[in-house]
Chains A and B, each alone.
Chain A
Amino acid sequence: MIQARVLTKRYGPLVAVNGLSFEVLPGRVTGFLGPNGSGKSTTLRMVLGLDAPSSGTVTVNGRPYGLHRRPLREVGALLDAKAIHGGRSAYNHLLCLARANGISRDRVDEVLERVGMTSVAHKQAGTFSLGMGQRLGIAAALLGDPGVLLFDEPVNGLDPEGIVWIRTLMRSLAAEGRTVFVSSHLMSEMAITADHLIVIGQGRLIAETSMADFIRSSSQNHVRVRTPQPDELIRLLAAHGATTKADPGMDGALSVTGLDCPSIGDLAAAHHIGLRELSSQQPSLEDAFMEMTHDAVDYRAEVSPERALTGIGA
Chain B
Amino acid sequence: MPSTTAPKFRPSARSLELEPDMTTLTPPASHPGATLRDRRPLFLDVLRSEWTKLRSVRSTYWILGAMAATTIGLGALLSAFYTLNYTTMSPADRAGFDPTRYALSGLLLAQLAIGALGVLVVTSEYGTGMIRTTFAAVPQRRLVLGAKALVFTAVTAVTGVISCFVAFFLSQAILSSHHLQATIAAPGVLRAVIGGGLYLAALGVLAVGIGAVIRHTAGAISTVFGLVLVVPIIVIFLPSSWSNGFGPYLPSNAGRAVFSVAQQPHTLAPWTGLAVFCAYTAATLLIAAVLLTRRDA
Contacts and interface: CB of A to CB of B under 8 A. Distances in A.
Interface of A: 25-28, 45, 48-52, 65-73, 75, 77, 79-80, 82-89, 92-93, 95-97, 99-107, 110, 140, 144-147, 174-179, 195-196
B17 A104 contact: yes
Contacts of A174: 2, 6
B264 interface: no
Given A69-B42, A80-B129, A145-B15, A87 B57 contact: yes
A50 B15 contact: no
Nearest to B4: A27
Interface string B114-131: 000000000011001110
Given A68-B139, A84-B128, A104 B296 contact: no
Contacts, number: 152
B148 to A, nearest CB: 12
A71 B136 CA distance: 7
Interface in B1-37: 2-12, 14-20, 35, 37
Given A50-B132, A107-B14, 17 more contacts: A48-B136, A49-B136, A66-B139, A77-B136, A84-B129, A84-B133, A88-B57, A89-B56, A95-B56, A97-B49, A99-B49, A103-B15, A104-B19, A106-B17, A145-B16, A146-B11, A174-B6
Contacts of A65: 136, 139
Given A49-B135, A85-B57, A92 B38 contact: no
B132 A80 contact: yes
A102 B19 CA distance: 8
Given A79-B133, A80-B129, A97-B137, A92 B52 contact: yes
Contacts of A80: 129, 132
A95 B52 CA distance: 7
A196 to B, nearest CB: 8
A214 to B, nearest CB: 15
Contact of A97 (B8, B10, B133): B133
Interface size class of B (residues with CB under 8 A): 35 or more
B58 interface: yes
Contact of A50 (B19, B38, B296): B296
Contacts of A92: 52, 56
B56 A96 contact: yes
A69 B139 CA distance: 8
Label chain A's interface by main secondary structure.
Answer: loop
B297 interface: yes
Contacts of A144: 15
A26 B37 contact: no
B48 interface: yes
Given A89-B56, A145-B11, A28 B3 contact: yes
A69 B7 contact: no
A79 B128 CA distance: 13
Given A27-B3, A107-B15, A144-B15, A100 B9 contact: no
B94 interface: no
A230 B294 CA distance: 67
A82 B130 CA distance: 8
In the complex, the 10 A-B pairs of residues with the closest C-beta atoms, listed nearest first: A27-B6, A83-B129, A145-B15, A100-B49, A177-B9, A92-B56, A102-B37, A99-B49, A28-B2, A51-B296
Contacts of A70: 37-38, 42, 45
Interface in B131-184: 132-140
B124 A85 contact: yes
B292 to A, nearest CB: 12
A71 B267 CA distance: 49
B136 A26 contact: no
Label chain B's interface by main secondary structure.
Answer: helix
Contact of B45 (A100, A106, A178, A196): A100
A71 B4 CA distance: 25
Nearest to B56: A92
A86 B5 CA distance: 43
Contact of B130 (A72, A75, A84): A84
Contact of A100 (B11, B40, B137): B137
A177 B8 contact: yes
26 contacts: A26-B8, A26-B9, A27-B2, A27-B7, A48-B132, A50-B132, A51-B297, A69-B42, A70-B45, A71-B137, A73-B15, A83-B130, A84-B130, A85-B53, A85-B125, A85-B130, A92-B56, A95-B56, A96-B56, A99-B48, A100-B134, A100-B137, A102-B40, A106-B17, A107-B15, A177-B7
B9 A176 contact: yes
Given A27-B6, A147-B9, A176-B7, A96 B132 contact: no
Contact of A145 (B12, B38, B49): B12
Nearest to B23: A104
B56 to A, nearest CB: 4
B59 interface: yes
A96 B45 CA distance: 10
Given A144-B15, A145-B11, A100 B138 contact: yes
A80 B133 CA distance: 9
B258 interface: no
Contacts of A49: 135-136, 139
B15 A101 contact: no
Nearest to A65: B139
Given A52-B296, A70-B37, A145-B12, A96 B53 contact: yes
Contacts of B48: 99-100
Nearest to B129: A83
A93 B46 CA distance: 14
Nearest to A64: B139
B2 A195 contact: yes
